[in-house]
Amino acid sequence: MDKAKNRARVKGIVVTAAAAALALTLTACGGGDGGKKNAGSSTSATPGGKTQSNAPDPQSDQVLATVQGENGIEMSITSAKRDTGGFVTVEGVVKNNGKDFYTMPDWQGDETELRNNGASMAGASLVDKAGKKRYLILRDTDGRCLCTKFSGLGAGKNSTFFAQFPAPPANTTEVDFQVPHMQSATIKISG
């Protein structure tokens, strides 16, 4: 029994260390663009699980895929990068082209552990069709997703997002990005 507890504790420490290293990497990658316009958005998680965003004009980003959802919601995926730490970070913009405030219903997914994430990208997944494997969103030891949390989205507004997943094998360069109640989007992984 003690061995099982120790293994669980070690796994928790490893996940926490990996999340901290990833957050440090994301923070360290900012700036230094020599005055050039940044081609991607930069989002980092804070200890409270909220996100801070420093995103360029969403129209200037290269779009890998766009998905139309219910009530005028549009999701554009602008980046899917493989990190050296064994992660894939997907970034993009959610736009509310509808007339009403949108709360991202059920985007947090059905898993009991993820329900406490509220309006977030916690229910997102990557699907490697060739490898026949689904990759669920990464989370910390408290069950918080390594993803954007939303407080809702007003009519005519947009918000950047990010979501992190375990990386599929290096030879997998194309995956489907899925969010509950949205169509799947086939995207290419860079890096």
What does the pLDDT read at residue 23? 43
What does the pLDDT read at residue 182? 87
Distances (CA, A) of 90 to 108, 155, 166: 16, 24, 11
What does the pLDDT read at residue 113? 65
What does the pLDDT read at residue 140? 87
The burial class, CB within 10 Å (0-12 / 13-18 / 19+), for 170 is exposed
Decide: pTM greater than 0.75.
no
Mean pLDDT by 10 residues, the chain (191 residues): 50 46 40 37 38 40 88 94 94 95 76 68 91 93 86 91 95 94 93 81
What does the pLDDT read at residue 71? 87
Mean pLDDT of the chain: 74
What does the pLDDT read at residue 64? 95
Asked if residue 62 lies in contact with residue 38, where contact means CB atoms within 8 angstroms, the answer is no
Domain boundaries, the chain: 2-188
Could you report the per-residue pLDDT of 160-177, keeping only the tens digit for each? 999 999 999 999 999 999
The residue behind tokens 């809702």 is: 152
> How far is Cα 1 from Cα 21, in angstroms, rounded to an integer?
30
Could you report the per-residue pLDDT of 42-71, keeping only the tens digit for each? 333 433 333 334 343 444 458 999 999 888
Burial 75-89 (b: 16+ CB within 10 A, else e): bbbbbbebeeeebbb
What does the pLDDT read at residue 97? 95
